[in-house]
Amino acid sequence: MASQNRELKEAGLKVTAPRLKILSMLSDASEQGDHLSAEDLYQRLRDTGEDIGLATVYRVLTQFETAELIIRHNFEAGYSVFEMAPDHHHDHMVDVDTNEVIEFIDEEIERRQHLIAEQHGYEIIDHTMVLRVRKKDGA
Amino acid sequence: MASQNRELKEAGLKVTAPRLKILSMLSDASEQGDHLSAEDLYQRLRDTGEDIGLATVYRVLTQFETAELIIRHNFEAGYSVFEMAPDHHHDHMVDVDTNEVIEFIDEEIERRQHLIAEQHGYEIIDHTMVLRVRKKDGA
DNA sequence: TTGGTTGCAAACAATTTGCATAAAT
DNA sequence: ATTTATGCAAATTGTTTGCAACCAA
């Protein structure tokens, strides 16, 4: 995955082992639809035998977020979770019973969001929309 | 506002001065569209001459949240902000530079959200939408 | 070489908790 | 009288930072 080298360089970050490991682990998790906290990441790295400090995990995550390589979510109070920045924006529907996550995108909603922001004199930097849902009848 | 006494009792909470003050202050702020952090609330209470401990503010906020009297938001990492549980649902726009929160509602978006959930065989239990925005030049 | 990077420990900020006192029912 | 609440300080939790050693460019 030499492409990751370029991503780091383009972000003005030196290509180091810790950064590559973190990027790769986060990438794998994201493909599984997992959102990892700094601590999650730190533990998984340790389990894989990597000797990366927790402070480094935090620093690197912040740098990746700034470089827009990853996205930070504050779903729960108290800590953040991260996922790779998706190529294409999408919103989430979460089944409250199974925790299954369904991704979707609706152009009309996107359009109106921008319209609303504009009406208030703002431009949208980014946005989040989470629908907490339950299956109709048969659960 | 004797109605607040009942709200507290129905939540199984004793009617105490700190709780009434917090409820009232949060209610006023919410009417102004302000979302307060625990620290904000604590400071405002002190400014009003109230002698309520920060720990009490935190404890009471958690209890109110559990009782669904108020809503907790995690717009920014690191701390929560609260508002009275709104009678009518609305979404939020957060100014990324000032952390100011603007409330809004768009019926068309609401309609489409339900439509989308339905198309997937779900019904919406609850949802959140946060637009992170920045003022268009002339700020 | 040179400046960015890392690990560790100490520092921080937000929030929680133990406990003795005080107030509500 | 009994139960729950409060204030304070100490403790926790998640995250950040100072610094000396270290490594990529």
From the list A80, A104, A117, the residue facing B77 with the nearest CB is A80
**Cα-based angle A58, B101, B73 (whole degrees, multiple of 5):** 55
**Cα-based angle B74, B80, B83 (whole degrees, multiple of 5):** 95
Find the mean pLDDT for residues B116-135: 93
From the list A72, A123, A128, the residue facing B133 with the nearest CB is A123
Find the mean pLDDT for residues B56-83: 96
- The DSSP-derived string for B53-78 is -HHHHHHHHHHHHHTTSEEEE--STT
Q: Is B104 on the interface with A (CB under 8 A)?
A: yes
Helix (H), strand (E) at residue A100 = none
pLDDT digits (tens, 9 = 90+) for B88-125: 899 999 998 887 889 999 999 999 999 999 999 999 98
Chain A residue numbers touching B77 (CB-CB < 8 A) = 72, 74, 80
Specify the pLDDT at position A139.
44
pLDDT digits (tens, 9 = 90+) for B15-38: 999 999 999 999 999 998 899 999
pLDDT mean for each 10 residues of chain A (139 residues): 86 97 95 90 96 98 97 91 90 80 90 96 92 79
Specify the pLDDT at position B100.
86
Calculate what percentage of chain B has a pLDDT beyond 90: 83
CA distance A40 to A72: 14
- Buried b vs exposed e over A40-73: b needs ≥16 C-beta within 10 Å? bbbebbeeeeeebeeeebeebbebbbeeebbbeb
Specify the pLDDT at position B87.
86
Q: Which residues contact B65 (CB under 8 A, 6 or more apart)?
A: B71, B72, B82
Specify the pLDDT at position B138.
57
Chain B residue numbers touching A133 (CB-CB < 8 A) = 117, 120, 122-125
CA distance A2 to A51: 22
